[in-house]
């Protein structure tokens, strides 16, 4: 044990060093990455957004970032499956902690998230955000589109999130429609996967409904995503309720008939050609979880997102 250390999240002397914390102990950051607010030399940032005031059903996703970080301790810095590599050997990643939000002034939340996200991505090429309810994706898209232009939205979800709303409304069920109206995403290149509800409008976004996804192979789903986005710079968002409640009970608006965690991960693994400029995992509400089932699924999704990024860096893309 002499060569080992603990609390890697604050004691790490390199952004590319492996952690040696016991899985059951030590300060929890995402995958034991060093906590830092300094972005020099950083390839990717993991950032929490503990907000759930836009939730229409069961609240609690403000505790999602904590739960995802806790579940990520199971990744012990061996080569990560299925990437077969230490994700951090060539990719410097920090955990930048959480966005500070005033719970008494929710009207300030969108601008706060967008401003903080813009500050991060001005210095770092890739931001992985941990929600929080799905409304947080709207200000994240504002920040990313300001840098990259309109993006192809690749959305895994049980809901279209295109319900009509009034200007200034804070609602996790309408952010996609707002993103289209604001020109943040290109609806002709955007796609929603796993949808199991109906909304009045689709804005021309391609939809792979839950029953179709059930019949498709993971390869066919990934091929459809890649063909539809056609190389456009993309933003990847995963609402954990895209999974069936058997695999993600800890969420605010669960809908039966969703993907298995295995199928979702298999699709993500096949998205290496997708030009992902930013991503998030949202809607983990640990109060409704059991044995960290949902948090483990979400942390694995987030790890896959970093794995895809590590492969692009290694390939020089």
The per-residue pLDDT for 3 is 66
Asked if the structure places residue 210 within a domain, the reply is yes
Spell out the per-residue pLDDT of the chain, length 317, in tens: 446 789 999 998 888 888 988 888 989 999 999 999 999 999 999 999 999 988 888 999 999 999 999 999 999 778 999 999 999 998 999 999 999 999 999 899 999 999 999 999 999 999 999 999 999 999 999 999 999 999 999 999 999 989 888 777 888 878 999 999 999 999 999 999 999 999 999 999 999 999 999 999 999 999 999 999 999 999 999 999 999 999 999 999 999 999 999 999 999 999 999 999 999 999 999 999 999 999 999 999 999 999 999 999 988 87
The answer to whether 289 is annotated as binding is: no
Asked if the structure places residue 3 within a domain, the reply is no
Residue 118: give the domain boundaries. Answer: 8-314
The 10s digit of each residue's pLDDT in 281-301 is 999 999 999 999 999 999 999
The answer to whether 161 is annotated as binding is: yes
The answer to whether 211 is annotated as binding is: no
Structure tokens at 117: 């996200």
The answer to whether 52 is annotated as binding is: no
Measured CA to CA, the distance from residue 188 to residue 263 in angstroms comes to 25
Asked if the structure places residue 17 within a domain, the reply is yes
Asked if the structure places residue 2 within a domain, the reply is no
Count of structural domains, the chain: 1
Please state the three-class secondary structure of 279-307 as a single string: EEEECCCHHHCCCCHHHHHHHHHHHHHHH
Asked if the structure places residue 12 within a domain, the reply is yes
Structure tokens at 304: 């896959």
Q: Could you please report the per-residue DSSP string of the chain?
A: -TT--S-HHHH-S-TTPPP---TTSS---GGGPPB-S--TT-SEEEEEE---TT-SS---GGGHHHHHHHHGGG--SSPBTTTTB-TTSS--EEEEEE----TT-GGGHHHHHHHHHHHHHTT-S-EEEEESSGGGHHHHHHHHHHHH-SBEEEEE-SS-------TT---TTSHHHHHHHTTSB-GGG-EEEEE-S--S--TT-EEEEHHHHHHS-HHHHHHHHHHHHTT--EEEEEEGGGB-TTT--SSSS--SS-B-HHHHHHHHHT-TTS-EEEEEEE---GGG-STTHHHHHHHHHHHHHHHHHHHHHHTT-
pTM given for the model: 0.96
The answer to whether 159 is annotated as binding is: yes
Asked if the structure places residue 1 within a domain, the reply is no
Asked if the structure places residue 267 within a domain, the reply is yes
Asked if the structure places residue 169 within a domain, the reply is yes
CATH number reported for the structural domain that contains residue 48 in this entry: 3.40.800.10
Place of tokens 């759930």: 52
The 10s digit of each residue's pLDDT in 54-70 is 888 899 999 999 999 99
The answer to whether 86 is annotated as binding is: no
């Amino acid at each position: 044990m002499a060569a080992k250390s603990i609390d890697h999240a604050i004691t790490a002397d390199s952004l590319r060093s492996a952690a040696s914390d016991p899985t059951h102990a030590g300060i929890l950051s995402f995958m034991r990455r060093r906590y830092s607010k300094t972005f020099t030399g950083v390839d990717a940032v993991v950032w929490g957004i503990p907000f759930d005031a836009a939730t229409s059903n069961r609240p609690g996703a403000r505790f999602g970032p904590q739960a995802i970080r806790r579940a990520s301790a199971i990744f012990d810095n061996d080569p990560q499956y299925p990437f077969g590599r230490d994700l951090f050997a060539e990719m410097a990643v920090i955990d930048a902690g959480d966005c500070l939000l005033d719970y008494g002034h929710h009207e300030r939340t969108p601008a706060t998230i967008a401003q903080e996200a813009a500050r991060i991505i001005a210095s770092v090429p890739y931001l992985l955000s941990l929600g929080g309810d799905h409304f947080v994706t709207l200000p994240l898209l504002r920040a990313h589109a300001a840098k990259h232009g309109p993006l192809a939205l690749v959305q895994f979800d049980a809901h279209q999130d295109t319900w009509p709303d009034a200007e200034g409304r804070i609602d996790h069920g309408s952010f996609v429609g707002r993103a289209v109206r604001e020109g943040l995403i290109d609806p002709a290149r955007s796609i929603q996967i796993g949808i199991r509800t109906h909304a009045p409008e689709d804005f021309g976004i391609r939809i792979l409904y839950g029953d179709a996804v059930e019949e498709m192979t993971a390869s066919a789903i990934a091929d459809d995503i890649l063909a539809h986005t056609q190389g456009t710079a993309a933003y990847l968002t995963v609402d954990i309720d895209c999974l069936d409640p058997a695999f993600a009970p800890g969420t605010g608006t669960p809908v039966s008939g969703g993907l298995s965690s295995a199928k979702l991960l298999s699709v993500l693994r096949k998205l290496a050609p997708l030009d992902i400029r930013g991503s998030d995992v949202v809607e983990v509400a640990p109060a409704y979880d059991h044995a960290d089932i949902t948090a483990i699924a979400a942390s694995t999704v987030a790890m896959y997102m970093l794995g895809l990024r590590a492969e692009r860096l290694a390939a020089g893309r």
